[in-house]
Structures are given as structure tokens and as C-alpha cells.
Amino acid sequence: SLSDRLTGALKDLRGKGRLSPADIDATCREIRLALLDADVALPVVRSFIAKIKERAKGHEVSGALNPAQQVVKIVNEELVGILGGETRRLTFAKTPPTVVMLAGLQGSGKTTLAGKLAKWLKDQGHTPLLVACDLQRPGAVSQLQIVGERAGAAVFAPHPGTSIGGGDNALGITAADPVEVAKAGIAEARNKQYDVVIVDTAGRLGIDAELMNQAIGIRDAVQPDETLFVLDAMIGQDAVSTAEAFRDGVGFTGVVLTKLDGDARGGAALSVREVTGQPIMFASTGEKLEDFDVFHPDRMASRILGMGDVLTLIEQAESVYDEQQAIDAAEKISSGQLTLEDFLDQMMAIRKMGPIGNLLAMMPGAGQMKEALSQVDDKQLDRVQAIIRGMTKAERDNPKIINASRRLRIANGSGVKVSEVNQLVDRFFEARKMMASMGRQMGLPGARRGQS
Ligand code: GDP
Ligand code: MG
């Protein structure tokens, strides 16, 4: 996985001042592969990586994150930005009805989306009307009628025997002309005061001029407030050429990504956003009406990167990391002055991030370290915490004063055996000594003072 490769490529080099070109290159190489794996189009990957390198250059090294994590953080922020930052909402017409036209290849999920949108709008108090302008595919009209019924929304269709359009609609439409049906649908919405019209259209398996001309005809007849380009996330690298054809043909104001419940990593989203400049507005995640939501750029970014866990870890590390506290601790470590109070503080900060097991599961790679730490469980940490809490402030600040009688009192107070208190105090002194020498080797702040 990407996170494993990143850890392989980079050692933990926290606190070096600035990200080095080598750190940035190594991380960007892996990010590039991750983006290509996610089906982001090559030119988009290239320009994106160039942008990242530019931004990462001269970037301050944060104390909370290692260089790989920092580049990942920048990449994630850029992705979220490109994918739209805040989600754009549907534009409603000043005078109803608002007209929303759906366009896209056959099978992309337009008709299903029509039902989802209708339900979503109904839930917000709107009164949508679905208009069946796919007269190409056999069964397309009745499919929309079924979907409309499920959503509890009215459907305007050209053929007799249907819920609204049957023979007695305003224009008596029965002809198989999608442009006429579209016009009649708008008239119907005006007459019966539906406030949103969703126009379902036909699609082909590939782009062709006839299809595009029909869509253009419908567009000109209904003057949509929004034209949504419906894109199957599973089509991968074909997304760009398809989006370009629809942009240059019928044109669109927003994108809906469908079939995100599949295993597509969603690179199509980034490519289409970059190439067409139009926002992704909704996401479809299944065949049922409820499998639908406004688009969340942050979720998509982490899906494209394929490292949701790492991003969560980054967020958590940053939220609990207190720069000054860390500098103070490093100073105390190097000078051998770490107290049990500091130790307790550090432990609490780490535990704020959640159960220790979860943290370990999220840590990329780090095999041996992980194994060692996996023997530390939360119950053990609870006991250590209880013991330190049973000490007086003076004892925590200067553990040397913890003699036999104090140990007995602490053990009784915290409900553990004296041997456990002994073990904790002994280990603490050992660890403090070891950490001080490591701190000096690593050149942590305060090392000089420790040596003098
Ligand atoms: P249209 O030709 O563009 O109208 O596409 P349809 O709405 O008829 O959808 C084509 C197929 O994809 C149908 O079997 C849908 O049930 C299915 N479908 C649509 N949206 C989704 C989705 O988000 N996830 C999944 N898994 N299937 C979907
Ligand atoms: Mg359809």
C-alpha cells in the first residue's frame, strides 16, 4: 500500500527545520503512483505533482509530523481544494420551476439519479417532477416511472397509460420526440406548480453526434438552470475524454459521480474537475434511492490517495501535539530531568488519540516497533496511570525521594502491589537515563545542558 511504501522510502526525521528536496521527491514519487493507481489522468497527475513540489519546497517541518506525513498533508489539502473545497449547492431559479437536466453515457446512472435527486429534493420540501426524455432505450420510460414511484415523485412521460402524461396531458404528447416531451414537461410543471423539473435524457454507450445533438435540442428547449453530467466512476481513464465531449457538446454546470460503491478509487473525479473546471456536486453510492449524498471533497481526496488511515493519524497527531510542550519535554529528556509528571503528561497526550491498539493499527509499517508496543495494552497503561496519580506532586517531580514507606503508601492508595510500584519507578529511572543519552545523540534541544 501507499503508506507502506512511504514508510519504506522515508525514515522518521522529525524536526529537521525544512522539508529536504530528497524527502519531497521520495514522497512525490509514491504519491504519483498512488494517483495513477486511482486512475487520475497522466497530464493531471503531472501538473498536480509539480504544484505539490512547489508548495512543499521551503515548507517548515512541523514537530508533530514526519516529512512523509507532511507532504501527504499538503497533497491532501491541495486535492480537497481542487475537488471543490466547500461543496457547491444546486442553483434554484428565481421563478420556478428550476430545471435540472441530466446528461451522460448510457448506463452512467442518470435515471437512477433522477429518482435519488427527486427524493432528496422532496425531503427538503420541494415538489419535483420527473420528465422522461429517454425515448431511445426500450423500457427507459417505465424505468423512470418505477423510480419516480419509489421516490414519491410525479413522472411526466409521453406514452399513454402512464401516471401523468397519459393522453390527457396538456399537449397530448404521444410522439417519440424527446424535445417535444421536454417542452410539454416544463409546461406541465408550470400548470401544476411543481417547483423543480428533472429532465432524464437518453445516452449511448459511446459518444456520438446524434446523441449530442438530441441533448442540445432538449437543452435549448428547456433552458436548464443546471445541467448535470453524470459520470460512472468505474470508467477510469475514459472519464476525461467523455467529460470533454459533453463539455464541448451539450455543456454542463456540475458533475455527479456514480457507482462510488464499487472499487474505483475515484481518480476520475480529480481529472474531470481539473479538465472541465466544473464542480462535482453529488455522489451516488449504490442502486437504492438513499445511496446518495452531496459530494464531500475531503472524503474523495482520502479515497484517491488511498490512505484514509494515515490522514486520520495526521489529524490526530496534530490535534494533540503541543509544540512548546514537546520542546520542553525534549529539553528535559536530554538533560535527564524528565519527571514522572512529564511522563504522565506525555502518556495522556498519546492516549487522547484513542485506544493504543487503534493507534498501532494506523501506524504505517514500523514492524518491530509495532510488535514491541503491541504488548502494551490499555489496562497496563491504566495501572501505570493510577500509580503515578497515587504519588504526591513532590514525588512525581523528584522520583528519587520515593523510598520504601512511600512505595507502600502509593501501592495501597492506587490498589496495586508494592512490586508494581517498584517496577514502575525502576523502569522510569532506566528509561530516563537511556532517553537522555539518545537525546544527546540526536541533538535534541537541551542536550548541552545535560552534558555539562
Ligand atoms: P442511465 O442509462 O444513465 O439512465 O443509467 P441507469 O440509471 O439506468 O443505471 C444503470 C445501472 O447502474 C442500473 O443497473 C443502476 O441500478 C445502476 N446504478 C446506478 N447508479 C448506481 C450506483 O451509484 N451504484 C451502483 N452500484 N449501481 C448504480
Ligand atoms: Mg436512463
Could you read off the pLDDT of 200-211 as tens digits, one per residue? 999 888 888 888
- Ligand 1 neighbours, Cβ below 6 Å, are 104, 106-112, 203, 258-259, 261, 284-287, 291
Write the DSSP string, 212-258. Answer: HHHHHHHHHHH--SEEEEEEEGGGGGGHHHHHHHHHHTT--SEEEEE
Would the pLDDT of 18 be above 70? Answer: no
Within a domain: 312: no
Atom 19 (ligand 1) nearest CA: 109
Give the domain-ending residue among 33, 58, 86.
86
247: domain CATH number?
3.40.50.300
Query: What is the best residue among 112, 146, 280, 291 to mutate for testing ligand 1's pocket, by most ligand atoms within 8 Å of CB?
Result: 112
- ipTM of predicted complex: 0.99
Q: In this structure, is residue 302 part of a structural domain?
A: no
User: Based on the domain organization, do 113 and 142 belong to the same domain?
Assistant: yes
**Grid cell at residue 444:** 535534541
The CATH number of the domain holding residue 334 is 1.10.260.30
Answer with the one of 31, 55, 86 that is the final residue of a domain.
86
Q: Are residues 55 and 202 in the same domain?
A: no
pLDDT at 107: 94
- Could you tell me if 107 and 223 lie in one domain? yes
From residue 406, how far is each of 341, 380, 412, 413, 414 by CA, in Å?
17, 22, 10, 10, 12
Q: Is 309 a member of any domain?
A: no
Tell me which ligand sits closest to the C-alpha of residue 260: 1
82 and 186 co-located in one domain = no
Residue 314 lies in a domain: no
**Same domain, residue pair 331 and 431:** yes
User: Residue 259 and residue 266: Cα distance in Å, rounded?
Assistant: 10
Q: What is the pLDDT of residue 372?
A: 52
Task: Look at residue 416 and tell me if it is in a domain.
Answer: yes
* pLDDT (0 to 100) of residue 384: 86
Strand order in the sheet with 154-156: 154-156, 128-133, 196-201, 98-103, 226-232, 254-258, 280-284, 292-294
Contact 234, 265 (CB under 8 A): no
What local confidence, expressed as pLDDT, does residue 331 receive?
76
In a domain, 380, yes or no: yes
Strands 280-284 and 292-294: antiparallel
Q: In the chain, what is the straight-line distance between the N-terminal and C-terminal CA atoms, in Å? A: 46
| Distance from Cα 112 to the centre of ligand 1, integer Å | 6
- Model pLDDT, residue 170: 42
Same domain membership, residue 61 and residue 102 = no
348 and 254 part of one domain: no
The CATH number assigned to the domain holding 74 equals 1.20.120.140
- Which residue minimizes the CA distance to atom 9 of ligand 1? 109
Which residue in 75, 114, 69 sits closest to 270, CA to CA? 75
Phi/psi for 181 (5° steps) reads -60, -40
C-alpha grid cell for residue 397?
517531580
E strands within 56-193?
A: 98-103, 128-133, 154-156
Find the domain containing 345 and state its range.
322-451
Question: Ligand 1 centroid to 262 CA: how many Å?
Answer: 12
201 is in an annotated binding site: yes
- Ligand 1 atom nearest to CA at 258: 23
Q: Does 58 share its domain with 25?
A: yes
Query: Are residues 80 and 54 part of one domain?
Result: yes
> Does the pLDDT value for residue 223 go beyond 90?
yes
Residue 244 lies in a domain: yes
Task: Indicate yes or no: pTM above 0.80.
Answer: no
Res 174 pLDDT > 60: no
Are 109 and 57 in the same domain?
no
- Domains of the chain: total: 3
pLDDT at position 121 over 90:
yes
Q: Ligand nearest 144 Cα, by number?
A: 2
Query: Ligand 1: which atom is nearest the Cα of residue 143?
Result: 8
Distance between Cα 229 and ligand 1 center (Å): 14
Q: For residue 218, what is its C-alpha cell?
A: 432538449
Q: How far is Cα of residue 274 from the mean position of the Cα atoms in its chain?
A: 18
Residues 223 and 287 in one domain: yes
Whether 242 has a binding-site annotation, put simply, is no
Span from the CA of 284 to the centroid of ligand 1 (angstroms): 9
Determine, yes or no, domain membership for 315. Answer: no
What distance in angstroms lies between residue 137's CA and the mean position of ligand 2's atoms?
8
> Which residue, 217, 164, 186, 221, is CA-closest to 96?
186
Cβ atoms 285, 261 nearer than 8 A: yes
Do 342 and 264 sit in the same domain of this protein?
A: no
Rounded distance, CA 126 to CA 193, Å? 11
165 among the known binding-site residues? no
